[in-house]
Amino acid sequence: MSGESSALRVLLARRSPEIIRPGLTPIRRLLARLGDPHLGLRVVHVAGTNGKGSVIAFLEAMLMAAGIPVAVFTSPHLHRFNERIRVDRRPIDDAQLDAVLTETLAHDPDARTTFFELTTAAAFLYFSRCAVFDRHRGVLLLETGLGGRLDATNVVRPWLSVITALGLDHADFLGASLAGIAREKAGILKREVPAVVAPHHAEAARVLKGVAARLQVPLTLAGRDYGLLVPEKAETGRGWWRFRDRAGSCWLPTPSLPGRHQFDNAALAVAGARRLRELGLPVTARAMRIGVASAIWPGRLERMPGAPPVWLDGAHNPDAIRALVRFLADPGRGGGRLSTVLLFSVLNNKDGATMARLLAPWVSRVFTVSLGGERSRSADDLASLWPESGPEVVGCDSVTQALQRAREAASPGGRVIVTGSLYLVGEVRSLLC
C-alpha cells in the first residue's frame, strides 16, 4: 500500500497467519497500559460464522437513520486498512491512524502482541477519544475477529450481544463440530447482558441456550422469540416482508443487500435494534425501515456496473457459498448455468473442494488465480478442486488476466461472479473501481 505510515508498516509486519494467539491476557495488559480505553464505550458485540458484517451494516444504517452516532470495527478490509475503523461510515484518516498506532506500539514493549490485538487496541483508543462518545451518545458495533471466547475483542462488557449464523469454519482453531463452534461463539455472552441470536442447527442452539441460561442472559432467539415472513414479491425486490416478535409485528422493505439470506440478517438486526430501543436508544420503526433499505456492505453480492455485470461476493466457506448458490439459481436474477462465468480463488485453510462442488452445477467456466502469500493455493491446485464432470476450468497468471478472460468468456446477457475469498474480491474491486 503506497503512502503507508511507519507505524502502519510496523503493524502490517505482524500480520502473519501463523501468529494467532487466542487468549485475553496480552490484550488486557496492553489496554491497561493505554488507560483501558475500551471501558465506558456502549458496545454491541457481534460474533458468528457468516453474516456478521451484513448485520453490522444494517444496524449501522438503522442507528444513523435514528440520529445516533455509530462507530464500527470490522475485519478484514477490502482496499485500505483504515476501513476497519470508522465513525458514521467515515474511515479513520491517515493522520489519526498513524497517531493511535504509534501510541499503541509504544505501549507494547515486548513486541509480541499480535496484529489483531494491536489493531483492536488502537481502535478502542481512537473510539474513546471521538466526540461521538461524549456524554454516552455513540454506539460501537464491534465485530469479533476469530471465534468469540478468546477473541481480542472479548474484553468489553457490551450493552447487547449478537450471534449470527454459525457454520464449520476455522476448524483448526474453533473445533470441527457445530457444538464446539457454538461454545466458542457463546463466549461473548455476558451475565445478564441481553443477547439476540440467529437461527441455528439444533445442536448449536442447545449450546447457546444452555450458556445463556447459566449466565441469566435475556435471550431473543430466532424462531422462538422472533420470526419473519417473506412473500415471493419481496424476494424479487418488489414487495415488503413482515417481522414479528413478542412486542408485535412490522412491515419492512426489501433489504438493500441482495440475496435471500439477507432477509435473515436484516431480521436479526431488527431484533437487535428493538432490544436497543428497550435499553433506551431512540431507534424508531421508521429508522429500522430506512436502515434495512439503505445498508451498505461492499463486496457481498455487490453488482459492479458494466457489461457483462460483475458480481462480487466474499463467500469463503461452504455455508456462505450455499447462500450464493441460492442467488445463482434464481431465474429472476439472470440465473442459468450457461450465462455464468466464475472467477475463483480460495485460501488453503478453507474447504475449497466443497465450495467448488457446490458451485459446479451453476457455472459454465471457471478461471482460477493464486493470490500469493503463505496461505494461497496455486492456480493449478485451485483447478484440481473442481469435479471432472464439472465446468471447464482455466488457470490464470494474475487477477488482472483472470478478470479480463472471465469477462470475455461471459456470453451476451451473461455475468461474472467473483468469489471464494475476500482478498480476491478486494483486488477485483480495486481494478473495477
Per-residue pLDDT of the chain (433 residues; tens, 9 = 90+): 445 788 999 898 888 755 566 679 999 999 999 999 999 899 999 999 999 999 999 999 999 999 999 999 999 999 999 999 999 999 999 999 999 999 999 999 777 789 999 999 999 999 999 987 765 689 999 999 988 999 999 999 999 999 999 876 545 555 568 888 899 999 999 999 999 999 778 888 999 999 999 999 999 999 999 999 999 888 777 789 999 999 899 999 999 999 889 999 999 999 999 999 999 999 999 999 999 999 999 999 999 988 899 999 999 999 899 999 988 987 666 555 568 999 999 998 889 999 999 999 999 999 999 988 777 899 999 999 999 888 999 999 999 999 999 999 997 788 999 999 999 999 999 999 8
pLDDT at 17: 56
Same domain, 173 and 236: yes
In this structure, is residue 100 part of a structural domain? Answer: yes
Instruction: Examine the domain organization and report whether 314 and 259 are in the same domain.
Output: no
| 1 assigned to some structural domain | no
Same domain, 215 and 358: no
The pLDDT of residue 237 is 74
Residues 277 and 337 placed together within one structural domain of the fold: no
What is the C-alpha separation between 284 and 252, in angstroms, rounded? 13
Q: What is the pLDDT of residue 122?
A: 98
Is residue 260 located within the same domain as residue 356?
A: no
Identify the pLDDT of residue 333.
Answer: 60
In terms of DSSP bridges, do strands 139-143 and 90-91 run parallel, antiparallel, or are they unpaired? unpaired
Residues 268 and 324 in one domain: no
Whether residue 128 is found in the same domain as residue 21: yes
**Count of domains for the chain:** 2
Query: pTM of this prediction?
Result: 0.93
Instruction: Please report the pLDDT score of residue 296 as a whole number.
Output: 96
Nearest to 174 by CA among 144, 211, 217, 206: 144
Let me know: does 200 contact 186? Beta carbons within 8 Å: no
CATH of the domain at 227: 3.40.1190.10
Tell me which residue range forms the domain holding 172.
6-294
pLDDT attached to residue 168: 63
Please tell me the predicted confidence (pLDDT) of residue 1.
Answer: 46
How high is the pLDDT of residue 40? Answer: 86
pLDDT at 395 (0 to 100) = 95
